[in-house]
Structure 1
Amino acid sequence: MSSDVTPTATPVKTTGLHIGYAEPGCRKVDPILVADGVKRTFGGLTAVDVQHVEVPRGAITALIGPNGAGKTTFFNLLTGFDKPDEGSWEFDGRSLAHIPAYRVARMGLIRTFQLTKSLGLLSVLDNMKLGAKGQTGENLFRAILPFLWRSQDKEIEAKAEDILARFKLDTKKEDYAASLSGGQRKLLEMARALMSDPTLVMLDEPMAGVNPALTQSLLDHILDLKTQGMTVLFVEHDMHMVRHIADWVIVMAEGKVVAEGDPHTVMANPAVIDAYLGSHHDSDLGAEDPEHEHVLKELLDDQQ
């Protein structure tokens, strides 16, 4: 199959999360995150050029696309870890322009990273306690007066231990975070995110580098976030995972949103297949990138 497939498909009109046809930039019934005209360039390279996108509240949305599509850069822009050249974006009706990452997190938008950011020389429990908001003891003056913060600290520790038990990390609470496996660090990062009682959780490739034995556990915890009333937006390459847990899929290619819709409809969209093939035209897919060969096989299998 060549990469010059015309990126067109008949829009599908469904009900539930969006209004009208499922197409790039379509309106959502109840969006929690909205981005307009967000653009980021690095020299002569345009990494992100998103005209309009809305993330539905209370759903699990997958952000997919080939390597270099701009997914992580877009995450960084939305969460305050990078600044766009232009554009506006808002979370829960509040503009996030010029708001630093730590304040975005306090507003209820929490993210994790593809490469975990746990503090290796702190214990697992101390990593968890760092995620709690509004700690009285963080004030320099109050810190020297234990009676002002000791009660709150006990409550935070109890909450941390409860969440660690849910993630089956309670037996590791006194261990250094550096001693955890890659999958356990992913679990710790997700667990720590819950310490701040977020409204929207953004996960950057939560399955990357995870032992298959922990994959199902991570999947269950992502589904549980939705059960608890949170909204989830995640970057992922595993199409099997996307099909089974995502309510909505947004596809990026070359910095733009090229398709949106429910998982099964999106994966049969010629524009999506073209986006993956287009990143490998004139090359041997199997030799150059086994990961994308696997992704393409799943996309093409969905068409049959």
Structure 2
Amino acid sequence: MSDNGTPTTPVKTTGLHVGEPAPGVKKVDPIIVADGVKRTFGGLTAVDVAHVEIPRGAITALIGPNGAGKTTFFNLLTGFDKPDEGKWEFDGRSLAHVPAYRVARMGLIRTFQLTKALGLLTVLDNMKLGAKQQTGENLFRSVLPFLWRKQEEEIEEKAKEILTRFKLDAKQEDYAASLSGGQRKLLEMARALMSDPTLVMLDEPMAGVNPALTQSLLDHILDLKSQGMTVLFVEHDMHMVRHIADWVIVMAEGKIVAEGDPHEVMSDPAVIDAYLGAHHDADLGDSDDEHVHAMKELIDDEQ
């Protein structure tokens, strides 16, 4: 009952969200909130997100067809690009005009579709670079070994422990350039953990990964959640999305067009339209678009 005596409709709360699943739906405990974020390149609007919230402590998949603006949105959230307008917060703190290195220090770490491992450094040295607030980074302190040596030993011990978890300990003295594509993905994810992040953002973690390493990567992503981290990832593998995601956000032409439980989103008409588009009247069996095939298979599975 409201203050003026009129009946009120109770707010529906289900798991991660409040109210019915829809673009921009309010989350119970959001870790990221973005409003009016827009990015244009010339006459092309790459991102035009009115409102979106990312739930804390969950694995959220950001999906959509090629050119939907997913990676651009990632770049905006993490300080690797600047929007034309809009505001967004991470853990209650504004990220507007915050450079990428400071965003990382705040606990928001991202990986890239094309891995950023430094090939001419060893796997172990790549890991050490991921540690934050290193005493030796200060010019004055760097010439006084007693100020940084203990921390250096602790960083190396932590790096080796994480490499063991990722089954990369046997490669720790190898140059990163010698790793396979999948191993580089594992290294980048492992290096992200060196900074004890609150939110890990993964840009197409399965791209170019040998099937033999796919399950290992999936297990590690699930492990991030079990350790209390929030995960937001971009992915085209719809079977993977349905397997590990708690929540799905769909982008098309720069906008959020759907949100919800993975199983429900896969059968949402807006999602089907976003993926199939002009293919509606085509013979999907003759299409070369692997994403269309994946979506069709999932739609068929749901039916």
Amino acid at match of 1:189: E
Question: Which letter does structure 2 place at the counterpart of 1:166?
Answer: R
Secondary structure of the structure 1 residue equivalent to 2:17 = coil
Deviation at 1:291, TM superposition (A): 1.3
Q: Distance in 1 between matches of 2:164 and 2:181?
A: 18
Cα pair 2:32 2:90 within 8 Å, conserved: yes
Name the counterpart of 2:244: 245
> Deviations along 1:119-144, whole A, 9 cap, x unmatched?
00000000000000100001111111
Contact 1:267 1:302 in 2 (8 A): no
**Aligned equivalent of 1:180:** 179
The amino acid across from 1:206 in the alignment is P
User: 1:106 and 1:279, CA in 2 relative to 1: closer, same or farther beyond 3 A?
Assistant: farther
1:136 touches 1:149 (CA, 8 Å); kept in 2? yes
Matched, 1:157 2:166: no
- Distance, in Å, in 2 between the alignment partners of 1:294 and 1:282 is 14
Indicate yes or no: 2:169 matched with 1:170: yes
Query: Is the 2:275–2:292 contact (alpha carbons within 8 Å) kept by the matching residues of 1?
Result: no
* Distance in 1, Cα, partners of 2:221 & 2:111: 12
Instruction: In structure 2, give the amino acid aligned to 1:181.
Output: S
The number of equivalent residue pairs is: 292
| Change over 3 Å in CA distance of 1:268–1:302 after alignment to 2 | farther
- Normalising by structure 1, report the TM-score: 0.93
Aligned to 1:293: 292
Cα deviation per residue 1:253-276 (whole Å; 9 max; x = unaligned)?
000000000000000101000001
In 1, distance between residues paired with 2:140 and 2:164? Answer: 33
Task: Provide Cα deviations, 1:143-165, integer angstroms capped at 9, x if missing partner.
Answer: 11111100000000000000000
SS at match of 2:208: coil
1:270 maps to 269
Q: 8 Å contact 2:284–2:293 — kept in the other structure?
A: no
Distance (Å, rounded) in 2 between the aligned partners of 1:170 and 1:150: 22
Deviation at 1:290, TM superposition (A): 3.1
Identity of aligned residues (%): 86
The CA RMSD over aligned residues, in Å, is 1.4
Distance (whole Å) between structure 1 residues aligned to residue 280 and residue 143 of structure 2: 63
SS at structure 2 position matched to 1:195: helix
Kindly provide the CA deviation profile for residues 21-40 of structure 1, in whole angstroms up to 9, marking residues without a partner as x. 00000000000001000000
The aligned counterpart of 1:72 is 71
> Structure 1 residues 145 and 232 mapped into 2: Cα distance closer, same or farther (>3 Å)?
same
Which residue is 2:92 aligned to?
Answer: 93
Structure 1, unpaired ranges of 5+: 1-12
Q: Is the 8 A contact 1:32 1:55 kept in 2?
A: yes
**What secondary structure sits across from 2:251 in the alignment?**
strand
Task: Give the Cα separation in 1 of the matches to 2:119 and 2:131.
Answer: 18
Q: Output the amino acid matched with 1:250.
A: I
Q: Is the 8 A contact 1:36 1:51 kept in 2?
A: yes
In the TM superposition, residue 287 of structure 1 has moved relative to its aligned partner by 5.6
The AA in structure 2 aligned to 1:223 is L
Report the 3-state secondary structure (helix = DSSP H, G, I; strand = E; otherwise coil) of the residue aligned with 1:62.
Answer: strand
Alignment deviations for residues 81-100 of structure 1 (CA, whole Å, 9 cap, x no partner): 00000000000000000000
Residue identity in the other structure for 2:58: A
Residues 214-263 of structure 1: CA deviation (Å, up to 9, x unaligned)? 00000000000000000000001111111110000000000000000000
Q: Is the contact made by 1:34 and 1:90 (CA closer than 8 Å) also made in structure 2?
A: yes
CA distance in 2, matches of 1:266, 1:181: 34
Aligned equivalents of 2:201, 2:58: Cα separation in 1: 12
Instruction: In structure 1, give the amino acid aligned to 2:38.
Output: K
Q: Distance in 1 between matches of 2:178 and 2:139?
A: 31
Code of the residue aligned with 2:84 in structure 1: it is D
Q: In structure 2, what is the equivalent of residue 9 of structure 1?
A: none
TM-score by length of 2: 0.93
After superposition, residues 14-163 of structure 1 pair within 5 angstroms as 15-163=14-162
Deviates more, 1:275-284 or 1:256-265: 275-284
Q: Using CA pairs below 8 Å that are at least 6 residues apart, which structure has the higher relative contact order?
A: 1
Question: Matches of 2:278 and 2:95 in 1, distance apart?
Answer: 32
Give the partner amino acid of 1:70: G
Q: Which deviates further from its counterpart, 185-194 or 14-23?
A: 14-23
Secondary structure class of the residue paired with 2:89: strand
- The answer to whether the 8 Å contact 1:35/1:90 transfers is yes
Write the letter of the residue equivalent to 1:242: V
Partner of 1:162: helix, strand, or coil? helix
Query: Taking structure 1 as reference, are residues 126 and 88 closer, same or farther at Cα in structure 2, changes over 3 Å only?
Result: same
Counterpart in 1 of 2:229?
A: 230
